[in-house]
Amino acid sequence: MKRRDMLKFGVAGGAAAVAAPALAQSQPTIRWRMQSSFPKSLDTVFGGATTIAQKVSKLTDGKFEIQVFSAGEIVGPLQVLDAVQIGTIEAGHTAGFYYIGKMPALVFDTGVPFGMTPRQHNAWMRYGGGLDLMRDLYKQFNVVQIPCGNTGAQMGGWFRKEIKTVDDLKGLRMRAAGFLGSVFSKLGVVVQQIPAGDVYPALERGTLDAVEWVGPYDDEKLGLHKVANNYYAPGVMELGASLCFIGNEAKMRELPAQYREALEAACAEANLDMLAKYDAYNIQALRRLLAANVQLRFWSNDIMKALQTATAEAMQDFAAKDATFAKVHQHWKAFRDDQVLWSAVNDGAAERFLAANRG
C-alpha cells in the first residue's frame, strides 16, 4: 500500500473512530424493568437475567439499562407473562411451561418429558423452525420471546420414601411444573405447581411428599436434602429446560436496531453461560449431597417405561383438544426423532462407551 493510501486509510479510520462515540451519544437512553420467575438465591438460573442486563448495558455504553427484579418483587413468579403482556413491566425472565394453563403449546418452549437435550433444543430453535413457531405463539400475548438459558438434564426429584414400583407413586403429593404434572397425574400422583420459595416449607410441613426442581446445585441451595432423602435419576422427564426472555411487543418495536441486536447477543451469551455453569457445578454439588447421606437412586426400567407411556397419552390428550398443540407437537416430534437417531449413531453411543470405560 502506498504511503498516501495509508494516510488516506488512517484518516478514514480515525474519522470512524471519532464517529462511533458520537453515534452512541445520539442513541436514546432507555430504562426497562425485568422480573425473573426465580429467586436471587438460585444464582445459576436467576443469574441468566443479570447476565442479560449486564451485557446489554455494556454493548450499548450504558444507554440501554435493564433493572432486574427477582421472583415476587413486582408480581408473582408465575404472573411474569401477564405483567409483560399488559405492560406492567417491559420484560420478563421465565419459562414457557409455567403458562400451560394459558396455552398448552408453550410447554415446547421449555421442554417436555422424553424430549430433547439442550443441544437438540437449540438446533430445533435455530435451524428447525422452532423459534418461528414459538414466537407466533407468544405474539398472541403481545410479547416477543428470545431463548436465554438452559438448565441441562434435571434430576428425577426428591422423595420421602423409596419408589420401587409404579404403584408406589400413587397418592403421592408432588410438586411438578408444567407438562410434567399431567404425566405424573396419569400415574396417580397428586400434583401441585408451586414456586421455588414455597417448596422447602411444603416438604418440611409434610404437605408435599416429593419435589421435582432442577438438579444438585440448585436443589442443595434450596435445602431439599434436609427434608427428603431419596434423590432420583436419570432425568428422563426433563432432558433440558430452556428459559426465555420475553419483551413487551410494543416496547420491543421501539428499540433502536442496535439495542435489539445487543439484546439478542446478550440472550445468546446467557443461553451458553447458564448451561456451562450447571454442567460445571452439578457434579460438585452431587458429591456434597452424597457426603451428607443422600441416597442416590435410579428409576427402574418399568417406572421409566410407565412414565414414557403416560407422556405419550398426555400428548395425545392435549393434541385432541388443542389444534395448536397438535401442530407444534407434530413439528417438534419429527425433529426430535431425527435427533435421537443421530445421537444413537454418534454422540450418544460415544458417551455411553465413555461412561462405562473411563480411561
Residue 154 in marked binding region: yes
The residue written with cell numbers 442513541 in the block is 27
Residue 287 Cα distances to 38, 84, 354, 357, angstroms: 25, 40, 20, 21
Across 311-336, b (16+ Cβ under 10 Å) vs e yields: beebbeebbeeeebbbebbebbeebb
Nearest to 117 by CA among 355, 351, 354, 359: 351
Per DSSP, what are the bridge partners of residue 246?
92, 145
Number of other residues whose CB lies within 10 A of the CB of residue 14? 10
Report whether 175 belongs to an annotated binding site.
Answer: yes
The answer to whether the beta carbons of residues 137 and 322 sit under 8 Å apart is no
How far apart CA 85 and CA 138 sit, in angstroms, is 9
Neighbours of 33 (CB within 10 A): 17
> Pairing mode, if any, of strands 157-159 and 230-233?
antiparallel
> Binding residue per annotation — 220?
no
Any binding-site annotation on 73?
A: no
Residues in Cβ contact with 152 at an 8 Å cutoff, skipping those fewer than 6 apart: 117, 118, 215, 240, 275, 278, 279, 282
Annotated binding-site residue? 212: yes
Cis peptide before 113 (omega within 30 of 0): no
Residue keyed to cell 397425574:
185
Binding-site residues for substrate, in ranges, read 154, 175, 212, 238
Binding-site residues for Na(+), in ranges, read 213
Binding-site residues, in ranges, read 154, 175, 212-213, 238
